[in-house]
Amino acid sequence: MRWSSLLLAALVATPAAARPVPTEATQASAPIGVAAAQIFERDWVLMNWALKTHDTDRDILLSAREAQAAADAFRAIADGDEDGRVTPTEYRAAREFILARY
Ligand SMILES: [Ca+2]
Ligand SMILES: [Ca+2]
């Protein structure tokens, strides 16, 4: 009886806790160190640029700190309307800009 009610509680509690609904607000406030690294791992254009401009110790790796700085710089370039978020359109425009310039 005790165990089954515990199990039931776990089953009821888990879905909401394990799957937070990804809203634009939570994406914008996500820890940027993690998000930063992912941006550059996904896109070689940005990775190249980040290494050229923010690999301060020249070890051809982006440390968390370097990735953070690069992500901040990328956001500054990309967020054309300065609303604090980079939309897919802004992202593409910034990528083109970086590709052409660097
Ligand atoms: Ca480095
Ligand atoms: Ca924006």
Q: Tell me whether residue 76 is in a domain.
A: yes
Average pLDDT over residues 44-73: 96
Residue 36's domain comprises 24-101
Contact 64, 33 (CB under 8 A): yes
Q: Say yes or no to pLDDT of 25 above 50.
A: no
* Lookup: tokens for 61: 């790796």
Ligand that comes closest to the CA of residue 24: 2
Residue 1 lies in a domain: no
CA 45–ligand 1 middle distance (angstroms): 17
Nearest to 73 by CA among 52, 39, 50, 51: 50
Q: Is residue 44 domain-resident?
A: yes
Q: Are 102 and 50 within 8 A, CB to CB?
A: no
CA-nearest of 45, 27, 41, 42 to 87 is 27
Ligand having the closest approach to the CA of 54: 1
- Residue 12: inside a domain, yes or no? no
Residue 62 lies in a domain: yes
Asked if the structure places residue 6 within a domain, the reply is no
Q: What average pLDDT does the chain have?
A: 81
Structure tokens at 8: 């039931």
Q: Is the pLDDT of residue 8 over 60?
A: no
CB 95 within 8 A of CB 43: yes
Residue 40 domain flag: yes
Give the closest ligand to the alpha carbon of residue 59. Answer: 1
Count of domains in the chain?
1
